[in-house]
Structure 1
Amino acid sequence: MSTSLLSRTPAPNFASVNFLKQHINDTLSFYRPRAYDPNGGFYHYYKDDGAVYDTAHRHLVSATRFVFNWVCAWQHTGDATYVEWAHHALVELDTRFKTPAGDYVWTVNAQGVEDARVMAYGQAFVLLAKSHAYRAKLCSAQDVASVFERMNTQFFEPAHLAYADERSASGELSHYRGQNANMHMCEACLAAFEATGEQRYLDRAQDLANTFALHLAQQGRQPIWEHYHLDWTPDWRYNIDTPGDIFKPWGYQTGHQTEWAKLLLNLFEHTHNQALVNTAQALHDAAYLAGWDALNGGLIYGYAPDGTPCDTDKYFWVQAETFASSWRLWRATGEQRYLTQYHHTWSWAWAHLVDHQHGAWFRIVDAQGAKLEDTKSPAGKVDYHTMGACWDVLRVGGLD
């Protein structure tokens, strides 16, 4: 337990550089003493107090997000140890997850490959990891390109300007189509462009933004649906009985609307296309209107097409992506309501989701903010969303 964590009260100035940097350090301090596995990579599974509850299992999403975390930590602190750690994470990624064909499997354990499916969601995060590794001179531009090109071969559907979702261990392509992998591929392509300067990555990010935020979301007047049939028509019933699914939940996802808004505003930095700002506003505004819990505060996980909540639990990443999109919209438009939303979202998360005793964020609480579990970081979390949102706000600037 660290004695230097920011306390819950009094509430800090959430719009200050010093606060964001200290909070990132508090989050890193949860992982620093216990994450490194001398036998390779990093441990992926943590209880609230930092206890590692599974030392052997590894998930592709956590493995890639650790590369992102350590490179970003190095960029913002200058501490070369983080470059060494990013390299340590990258070695495990390429030795334990990578197949001879150039794909990356979903999970591994002490015996080897556990789940050999090739998921577009996971491959997108490999591209994100490689793009950041390139910034730290841990891989080449060709390494970045190889992941992108393999992703295109395995999943891209030119007629729809979108990526399919999943291949089985035997290589069979699933009929399921979804927005989530494409959203993260947009994110990864932006990172690849910003790292290498290669225009094709920016072009693909624009393709995906147009497909999902404009075409499939009916020109930005409707939120972005999660699930689609083979022909990219909405599948309104997929996972209808599991609105709390981690990767493929039913319903409109509050956090995915605001995450798309954030990405559109990132894309705006490079294209100066005002339509991206307008669409980002439409997505963010719809999500905040339906997702903000007026009674208890905080943003719910998901809501039905008629606007009624379908999962009222509060997830860490939903709050993080929303304060990031709020800040970007405040900076892009100057509209005071977005600054207010930034502070409201942070205030609720600070009171209910940030662990002021051990560091990092709790994964999930109920509608009233009560804890539901003692697992801080299961597969895929590692506080990529929370630190990433803070780094994004720092990048945009305009802070005290």
Structure 2
Amino acid sequence: MNIWPTNPHHRGWLSGERTRLIEFGLGQVPDTAGARWLDERGQVDPSRPVPTWLTARAVHVQSLGHLLGIPGSRPAAERGMRALTGNLRDAEHGGWYAAVGVDGVPDGTKSAYAHAFVVLAAATATVAQLDGAEELLDEALSVLDQSFWDPAAGMHVDEWDRAFTELSPYRGINANMHAVEALLAAADALEQPRWADRAAVVAGRTAVWAEENGWRVPEHFDAGWTPQLDLNADRPEDPFKPYGATVGHGLEWSRLLLQVSAATAPDYAPTGELGEVSQQLYRRAVDDGWHADGAEGFVYTTDWSGKPVVRRRMHWVAAEAIAAAAALHRATGDDTYAVDYSRWWDYTAEHLIDRVHGSWHHELDEHNRPSGQVWPGKPDLYHAVQATLLPVLPLTPGPAVAVRDSLWVARAQANRYIQP
């Protein structure tokens, strides 16, 4: 049987696709104002603001590009860093704006989602040895810790006003999910395991909610952390807070739980508690989301019985399916996950990869035709790049340190490495 995740020819293909994606994004940060929204042809859309989360993702990706030896990535990452330490940073009240508009006026919302990505960007840039990165990481971790971490809940709150005086009653899983990834990256970059331990607290709380909800992760909560399962039922296509179960988040959590377990367990065992939860989340997401309406692809969301709600196909969901299947194959050695992995890549190659204009189509309709109702253009490389990188790296350390230290995985087992 040809096991794709460990096939050397496939590994070469991943390398080529990874380089193609990263090079597509080199022009996304043309100056020190931050990352721009790109259209279907990869051109800057001047009508859109500069978001902090998108700039941070660009810094993360281009810092990885620098570690991978891709020319042009370091300057692009440095320009993004200048935005994170410049116009996107609130020098008066601390933290980072949600975005800066085309008119230069900032959106003063302070969201845990954006701050988590600043931590991730700074951690990867620290490993890549960009000037000022470690200082930025220290500051971002301090804000995430002091302004967003709720120790009583073991979770991060979601959104403040600009001055950090008024806290929204909404609580969300999405920001906490990305905080887990960011905290793992920070633990690696600074060699401070306490941040990975905090990621484990968030992951454990989420695992309990998922099990109580039939392995469909509740996304929205009130101020007391009671799930609000009907939130946004009247606007189910919301790009950040959609109604129902988000299939891609079940897949993303599946991979993250394995990484948390590997990073925090002294004697990592893939069949341990989080490993079992990972497999349950993966199977539920695949059973609910894949081919759910008769056509190939993962639907965006389902209701709480698993019935499709938004049938559009998002590129990031396929990317997370690839990463989760690779992680589970690495952790368990079960070739069922390798079969899935090859299936998800076949779908991606046939429908998502744009070989004419570059990158991946970010959204397809229910017939797998390019669309843009929820996610127009091609602003994001983060998920796709990681789909080409995570399958050839260990579960721990994270991608930045693993690339820096050439910890390329040779076999399905979690921590057996080869030189590239």
Secondary structure of residue in 2 paired with 1:54:
coil
Query: Which moved further from structure 2: 42-51 or 99-108?
Result: 42-51
CA apart distance, 1:398: 4.2
Q: Deviations over 1:87-130 (max 9, x none)?
A: 11101111011112321001103443331100010000010011
Secondary structure of residue in 2 paired with 1:45:
coil
* Aligned partner (choices 240, 249, 254) of residue 247 of structure 2: 254
Counterparts of 1:359 and 1:376, CA distance in 2: 16
* Aligned partner (choices 206, 214, 228) of residue 212 of structure 1: 206
Q: 1:75 to 1:188 in 2, by over 3 A?
A: same
* Aligned partner (choices 375, 381, 384) of residue 383 of structure 1: 381
* Aligned partner (choices 289, 292, 310) of residue 290 of structure 2: 292
Does structure 1 residue 362 correspond to structure 2 residue 354?
no
CA apart distance, 1:348: 1.1
Q: Deviations over 1:352-389 (max 9, x none)?
A: 1110112101110012201123998659x421110022
Contact 1:221 1:282 in 2 (8 A): no
Counterparts of 2:250 and 2:102, CA distance in 1: 37
Q: 1:218 to 1:291 in 2, by over 3 A?
A: same
1:199-278 alignment runs, 5 A limit: 199-213=193-207, 215-218=208-211, 222-270=215-263, 271=265, 272-273=268-269, 274-278=272-276
Q: 1:313 to 1:233 in 2, by over 3 A?
A: same
AA matched with 1:384: Y
1:321-340 alignment runs, 5 A limit: 321-340=320-339
Q: 1:333 to 1:305 in 2, by over 3 A?
A: same
Query: Which moved further from structure 2: 159-168 or 130-139?
Result: 130-139
* Aligned partner (choices 99, 124, 133) of residue 132 of structure 1: 124
Does structure 1 residue 181 correspond to structure 2 residue 175?
yes
Instruction: Name the counterpart of 1:9.
Output: none
Q: 1:323 to 1:45 in 2, by over 3 A?
A: same
Q: 1:219 to 1:398 in 2, by over 3 A?
A: farther
Counterparts of 2:234 and 2:25, CA distance in 1: 35
Segments of structure 1 that go 5 or more residues without pairing to the other structure are 1-12
AA matched with 1:336: D
Does structure 1 residue 115 correspond to structure 2 residue 107?
yes
Identity of aligned residues (%): 28
Q: 1:372 to 1:92 in 2, by over 3 A?
A: same
AA matched with 2:107: D
Query: Which moved further from structure 2: 361-370 or 142-151?
Result: 142-151
Secondary structure of residue in 2 paired with 1:310:
strand
AA matched with 1:143: L
1:95-110 alignment runs, 5 A limit: 95-100=86-91, 101-110=93-102
CA apart distance, 1:262: 0.9
Contact 1:97 1:113 in 2 (8 A): no
AA matched with 2:177: M
What value does the CA root-mean-square deviation take over the aligned residues? 2.2
Q: 1:232 to 1:56 in 2, by over 3 A?
A: closer
Q: Deviations over 1:311-332 (max 9, x none)?
A: 1110000000011000111111
Contact 1:46 1:375 in 2 (8 A): no
Contact 2:150 2:157 in 1 (8 A): yes
Instruction: Name the counterpart of 2:417.
Output: none
Q: 1:318 to 1:47 in 2, by over 3 A?
A: same
Secondary structure of residue in 2 paired with 1:65:
helix
Counterparts of 1:175 and 1:92, CA distance in 2: 30
Q: 1:395 to 1:219 in 2, by over 3 A?
A: farther
Does structure 1 residue 194 correspond to structure 2 residue 196?
no
Instruction: Name the counterpart of 2:145.
Output: 152
What is the TM-score normalised by the length of structure 2?
0.86
Contact 2:29 2:36 in 1 (8 A): no
Contact 1:254 1:301 in 2 (8 A): yes
CA apart distance, 1:142: 4.7
Instruction: Name the counterpart of 1:85.
Output: 76
What is the TM-score normalised by the length of structure 1?
0.90
CA apart distance, 1:304: 0.6
- Deviation beyond 6 Å, 4+ runs, structure 1: 374-377
Contact 1:57 1:110 in 2 (8 A): yes
Segments of structure 2 that go 5 or more residues without pairing to the other structure are 395-408, 413-420
Instruction: Name the counterpart of 2:63.
Output: 71
Query: Which moved further from structure 2: 41-50 or 88-97?
Result: 41-50
Counterparts of 1:43 and 1:142, CA distance in 2: 21
Instruction: Name the counterpart of 1:10.
Output: none
Instruction: Name the counterpart of 1:51.
Output: 43
